[in-house]
Amino acid sequence: MQLFLSQLMNGLGNGVIYASLALAIVLIYRTTGLLNFAQGEMALFSTYVTWKLVDDSEMGLPVAAAIGISMVIAFVGGALIERVVIRPVERSSPLVIVIVTIGMFLAINSIAQAIFGTDTKQLPSVFSDAAWVVGGVRVTAQTVGLVGVLAAECLLLWLLLQKTRVGLGLRAVASNPDSSRLVGIGTGNMLMLGWAISAALGALAGAMIVPMTPGLSAGSMQAVLIYAFAAAALGGFDSPLGAVVGGIIVGVAQALAIQYVDPLNDIELVVPFALIGGVLLFRPTGLFGRRVVERV
């Protein structure tokens, strides 16, 4: 039982991470109707920026401040990517756009390696390494912190989308771009904003993920991206709530599968793929989604 509970905690920690990247994917899908395969690499790049801000002998910023700054940089970068890379192909076929985001995946990855080098970097966690034992289960400050960050992120996103004028515009454009243009919403600006917010969330997710891994390197985000896609598929690509629930389910499923299903020990990536396949087969809208993903 205790083993089960501690695996559950592990799973929760990972799940929250998948959820935060899945949220970024969902946000772009909701506003623009496309799946951004470069989401993980955008987060990777931002995380390198965070690392640089912390590690650089002259700047040497505290981790939290570095994350804040790199989120701002990512926000601007995301907006630029929408303007410069995505907008020219916006009206092309879905296949073209998928190929463009895959191209971005490769390009951003190489650029990151060219700028920051290929050696593995260490990014300290924002959270302390304290841990408590609650009812025989070890609960780390790391896990509690991650859950807190995700909860805050969700609350802010919810307030933005549901309670502000800009949020109303974002949701309108996501649902019906033509009618939105007719009421006078600058749909281009809304799409740009969707990419900007999503890139900033990715920067945050990256800085949360890397301290839980052996280090920051060019491949850091690739497995995580697959889990995040599984989370988004499970929750529904157009549902922020689904991303969170999906992320946690995927994280927990992964932890339990590794613990209890021996043969999966080294090939744990089977778990997200099985989930994606299962969802697309049995419930294409995901648990909380409304729209069937057709543009993949």
Partner 1 sequence: MTLLSVTALAGGYGPVKVLHGLDFEVAHGEIVVILGANGAGKTTTLRALSGMIPSDGEIVFDGEDVTGRKPQVLARRGVAHVPQGRGTIDELTVEENLRVGAWTRRDSDVAADVDRWFEVFPHLADRRTQQAGSMSGGEQQMLAIARGLMSRPRLLLLDEPSLGLAPIITQELFAQLGDLNRELDTAMLIVEQNAGLALRLASRGYVLETGRIVAQGAATELEGNEDVRRAYLGL
Structural contact between residues 13 and 183, judged by C-beta atoms closer than 8 angstroms: no
- Rounded (5°) CA angle 282-22-168: 100
Choice from 119, 178, 266, 294 touching partner 1 (CB under 8 A):
178
Binding of partner 1 by 52 (CB under 8 A): no
d(C-alpha 216, C-alpha 77), whole Å: 20
* Least separation in angstroms between CB 174 and partner 1: 7
Residue 22 makes CB contacts below 8 A (sequence gap 6+) with 228, 229, 231, 232, 235, 243, 244, 246, 247
Binding of partner 1 by 62 (CB under 8 A): no
Helix, coil or strand: residue 226: helix
Segment contacting partner 1 (CB under 8 A): 21-29, 82-90, 174-182, 204-212?
174-182
Segment contacting partner 1 (CB under 8 A): 9-17, 87-95, 121-129, 177-185?
177-185
* Least separation in angstroms between CB 167 and partner 1: 10
Segment contacting partner 1 (CB under 8 A): 49-57, 166-174, 214-222, 256-264?
166-174
Structure tokens at 123: 């990014």
Segment contacting partner 1 (CB under 8 A): 58-66, 102-110, 183-191, 229-237?
183-191
Strand partners, 216: 121
Q: In 82-186, which residue ranges form alpha helices assigned H by DSSP?
A: 94-116, 141-163, 165-175, 177-182
d(C-alpha 264, C-alpha 223), whole Å: 15
* Least separation in angstroms between CB 164 and partner 1: 12
Binding of partner 1 by 180 (CB under 8 A): yes
Binding of partner 1 by 186 (CB under 8 A): yes
Binding of partner 1 by 168 (CB under 8 A): yes
Side chain identity, residue 71: M
Structure tokens at 178: 């033509």
Choice from 146, 185, 199, 209 touching partner 1 (CB under 8 A):
185
Interface contacts to partner 1, rule CB under 8 A = 168-169, 171-172, 174-176, 178-186, 290
